[in-house]
Amino acid sequence: MARERTLSDQAFEQFPQALVIVDREATVLSLNPVAERLTGWARGDAVGRPAADILEVRTETGVNLCAPNGALRRALRLGTRINTHFAYLFRLRTSDDPVRVSYSVSPLLLKGKTPDGAVVVIHDVTPELETIEARDALMLAASHELKTPLTTLKGLSELLLDFDLSEAQRRELLQDLHGQADRMEQLIGDILSVSRIDSGRISVDFSRVDVASVVQHVCDEVRPMLKGRTLKCRVPEELPAVMGEARKLHQILVNLVNNAIKYSEPGTQITLSARGDRSAVRFEVSDQGVGIRKEHMPRLFEKFYRADDPAVRRTPGTGLGLYIVRSLVMMLGGQVHVRSRPGKGTVFIITLPRAEATARSRPRVAVGA
């Protein structure tokens, strides 16, 4: 019996959701550590108080958990379990914003059919709601960004089909078609990358990476996108390898150079450089573009964030590129920093661990962001 009580007590203390036990008068008898953290009430202060003092929980329609017509009183009166989804828990003691929760109230029957008390189980649904909101935001951004190139593709294809055009005109339209298709391909790639990052379905195959070859590949790939801008690639002859994955390093650098192209005017210069030191290889992507104001810096790498700046808003984008860059850099064990002057340009700095000459390749491991 003592062992069973000990196990029961441990289960109560370690239960992953907030538990509050009340008597038939809705007076608090006990609460577990999760409930203490969620409500802001310590157990010693809460026990003996009316549940209404510590559980200010209201549904979206405004019904209070502890009100006369609320779920707690009804469960105690009727002896039936009541579940409610998506309510608000107000932590008045800590003056925090309300927490989105779901809860259930289960009557406790010790003798007879009349409840002797009830247990209130409260679940913080904030993480689930954030996931849903992120998914909805991703779908909204994707549909919005895909609509523009699709409309352009449709219009260009109609011109090609319906009009007699010179060879030069046809070639110009086909180049525009190719550019819009590239834009759609990049957007879809970004959406897939974010989905894999957020779900932890990205793996890293650590090995020695020849930095010079990756940088050269990046420069060759982005040159057709420059459209009047110049690109300088600076890589010393004796550049050490990094420990990472070539494909992810390539994706990081392409995203940063494309970002520099988007926010730079024709006639300006973009530079991609790499240099090594004793412990790391440092990559820099610099431009002479619109720059980033100081107040936007803290949120620069957030998913979907785009600065409220006319120079930024007039450029198509979803706000996913820098989020992907930071996530991949962290997976490779590196760091990312940024310097910028509005109207003068921006420099993104990536540092990745240098691979020692005798280092063994690490096994392929799954990584979650």
What is the pLDDT at residue 142?
A: 67
Higher confidence at residue 183 or residue 60? 60
What value does the mean pLDDT take over residues 208-236?
91
Whether residue 368 has pLDDT greater than 60: no
As given in the structure block, the two tokens for residue 178 are: 């190719």
Per-residue confidence (pLDDT) for residue 191, from 0 to 100? 73
Confidence (pLDDT) at 144: 66
Terminal Cα distance for the chain, rounded: 45
pLDDT band at 310 (very low <50, low <70, confident <90, very high): low
pLDDT value for 367 = 42
Per DSSP bridges, beta strands 280-286 and 18-23 are unpaired
Distance, C-alpha 279 to centroid of its chain? 30
Strand order in 335-341's β-sheet?
230-234, 269-276, 280-286, 345-353, 335-341
Span 320-339, pLDDT tens digits: 889 889 999 999 999 999 99
Per-residue pLDDT, 110:
82
pLDDT category of residue 168 using cuts at 50, 70 and 90: confident
Contact 249, 242 (CB under 8 A): yes
Does residue 364 surpass a pLDDT of 60? no
| CA–CA separation, 326 and 336 (whole Å) | 7
Please compute Rg for the chain using Cα positions.
29
Those residues whose C-beta lies under 8 Å from the C-beta of residue 74, and which sit 6 or more positions away, are 80, 82, 105
In the predicted structure, residue 114 carries a pLDDT above the cut 50: yes
The pLDDT, as a whole number, for residue 163 is 79
Burial class (CB in 10 A: 0-12, 13-18, 19+), 358: exposed
**Amino acid 35: pLDDT:** 93
* Phi, psi (rounded to 5 degrees) for 318: -110, -10
Distance CA 323, CA 233 (A): 24
Q: Could you give the residue ranges of the DSSP H alpha helices within the chain?
A: 2-14, 33-39, 43-46, 51-54, 71-78, 126-162, 167-199, 211-222, 246-262, 310-313, 321-331
Tens-place pLDDT, residues 243-283: 889 999 999 999 999 889 988 999 999 999 999 988 899 99
- Provide the mean pLDDT of the chain: 84
List the single range of 16-20, 168-172, 351-355 with lowest mean pLDDT.
168-172
On the question of pLDDT at 95 being above 90, the answer is no
**Residue 4: partners with Cβ closer than 8 Å, 6 or more residues away:** none
In tens, the pLDDT along 10-37 reads: 888 999 999 999 999 999 999 999 999 9
Give the model's confidence band at 153: pLDDT under 50 very low, under 70 low, under 90 confident, else very high: confident
The band of 49, judged by pLDDT with boundaries at 50, 70 and 90, is very high
Q: Report the pLDDT averaged over residues 98-121.
A: 89
pLDDT value of position 358: 35
Of 150-154, 180-184, 352-356, the range with the lowest mean pLDDT is 180-184
C-alpha distance from residue 357 to each of 163, 254, 350 (Å): 62, 27, 21
Segment 343-357 mean pLDDT: 89
Position 45 scores a pLDDT of 93
Q: Is the pLDDT of residue 308 over 70?
A: no
Mean pLDDT in residue range 280-296 = 92
| Block residue for tokens 């550019």 | 179
